[in-house]
Each structure stands twice: as structure tokens, then as C-alpha cells.
Amino acid sequence: MHAAFPALRLRRTRAAPWSRRLHAETVLTPADLIWPLFVTSGQGVEEPIATLPHVSRWSVDLVVARAKEARDLGIPCLALFPNTPREKRSDDGMEALDPDNLMCRAIRAIKDAVPDIGVLTDVALDPYTAHGHDGLIDAAGYVMNDATVDVLVGQALNQARAGADVIAPSDMMDGRVGTIRAALEADGHHNVQIMAYAAKYASAFYGPFRDAVGSRGLLKGDKTTYQMDPANAEEALREVALDLAEGADSVMVKPGLPYLDIVRRVKDAFAVPVFAYQVSGEYAMVEAAVAAGAADRDAMVLETLLAFKRAGCSGVLTYHAAHAARLLGR
């Protein structure tokens, strides 16, 4: 035994539940959660998503019901994603600029019914384009940066005018944060936040999300020319630095658990609010393990979310938000 033993026994503080709670270095609460919700057309519509067990698309009226549920559970913010009908998709994604599109209708309905809950909106063209890319493409299929940014500015203003509290550009175009920030200021939206998807990787974990927003099968090619290479970490710090310099109020790392090293490095380097997205593939893996009898859902959900907080996250976007909030509220 070491000379300090038995004077030093680290197990002493673990011996009783009250002591474990007292000595916990990281605390998870419902206030750390953002609940992503998928919006679809119609009235009274719930469409279960086969690749995302227990997750559905909701019509606007039922999204409002989810917003009330979130408020009652102590979840402070919702993230909205539209399932745009195929007939409204186009190569130029102009449905994103319609002030009466699914996203804007959902924003207005939520803010009318539950004004005290935050609404975060995705800014990218992939839910609106016929080709499934996040931006406009040229004849060769390459996503054009500057032309796309021009459309993203219009999309951000459209959502801010509808009542969005947080604009979250997920497109990964260069320069879009600064251009959107300037446009929001000029339009009088001084308190609308920007949460930049600053380090968004070209990941294999996004498949079920594409089912949810109806873009599965539409994508021509891949997104490696604008989303980050999973091999790169230093580049993530450069991306974060640029977005902060351009006016981002907070930054996001996406995906989540496979990139906790990036979360930690961003937090250590910049000491700013860092969020992570526990993406659809991560959620589906947890649910598959539960369905196979290989894991306890409650324990796994809370442990994975605690890992985000321990790594330095201010909050987490997770499809398990409502379930986790119920567990934490016991």
C-alpha cells in the first residue's frame, strides 16, 4: 500500500448517495437541453420516423403541444427543422424565403402560445433544395459559397421576422455568420442570437436526420467540400475563431459524442458558450442498444448527456430531451 493509505481513501466520498451528490463535479439539469423537433404539413398529424424510434414529425398544431410540454418539463429551447413537401423543393431552395413556409408558421404558433420558450431555427438550404445540398450548386454540382450566403441572409431574416430567438446557420459556408449578423442588425433584430454550427463535420451519423427532413435519396454526391473532415481538429479551432470574430454568440460542435475532444479544445481555447448536437445516428444507436437488450435507456441517456456537460458544453441538442428532463425531474 502507498504511504498515504489509509489516511487517503478516495472511496470515502463515494460511500453514500448524499455524499456522491455533494461531491459531484458536473450537474445536468433540464435547463441544459435543447429539443429538436421536426415540422410537417397538415393538422393533427404525427408521422413516426422509422429510423428514429420514438421520434415523429409533427404538424404545426402538435409542435405547439410539444412546446407546452417542453415548458412544463423545464426545457428552455426548441430547435425546429421542416420536412418540406417535395413539390415545394427546388434547385434554388426559394421556399426558404417564403414567410408562410412551415418553419415560419411553426415559429409564430409557438411564440404565440408559449412566448417564454426559446426557438432556435436552422439556417441552411438542404430542407428546401431538390438536390439535398445546403446551398446553391453550379453546373458541375459544386456548392457555390457566396451565392448561397446571399440566400441564407434572406432565410435568416425571414425566420427572425417570424419570431425566432436564435438563428443557427448549419450550412458551413465561409463568411455567412458575419453577413447574417450585419443583416439582422440592419433589420432591427439586435437581440436575435446566432449559434453558429462552427465545427460541423461531414459525418456518417446524419442518416436518420435526412429521413426526418425528407432529403434521403435526394443528395447528389456528398458534403465533403463544405463540411469538415473528421480527421481535423486544428481546423475546428480556426472555424470557431472566425465565427466568433464575425459575431456568433455561441458555437456548436456536430456530431456530439465522437467529437467531445473538439468540444473540450474549443472550450479551453475560447471560454465561450459551446453547444453540441447529439445527432440522429447517435440517438439511433442508443435506441438500437436498448431494443437489443444491451443497455438500460435511462442510465445511458443520462450518462451520455452528462459526458457533454463534463466536456465543457453549456447545453446539448438531443432527441432524448423530453425523456431526460422527466428523469431529472424525479
Q: Is 267 a catalytic residue?
A: no
- Rounded CA separation 240/301 (Å): 28
Residue 231's CB is within 10 A of a number of other CB atoms, namely 7
CA–CA–CA angle 51, 52, 56 (5° rounding): 115
Amino acid residing at 39: V
Amino acid residing at 309: K
Q: Given the residues 111, 223, 254, 267, select the one marked as catalytic.
A: 254
Q: Is 111 a catalytic residue?
A: no
Place of cell 433540464: 30
Q: What is residue 136's three-state secondary structure?
A: coil
Residue 292 burial class via C-beta count within 10 angstroms: exposed 0-12, middle 13-18, buried 19 and up: exposed
Q: Given the residues 200, 223, 267, 309, select the one marked as catalytic.
A: 200
- Rounded CA separation 126/214 (Å): 10
Place of cell 466520498: 13
Instruction: Give the sign of the dihedral formed by CA 319, CA 96, CA 100, CA 191.
Output: positive
Instruction: Give which of 151, 172, 282, 259 is closest to 222, Cα–Cα.
Output: 172
Q: How many helices (H) and strands (E) does the chain have?
A: 11, 10
Active site residues: 200, 254
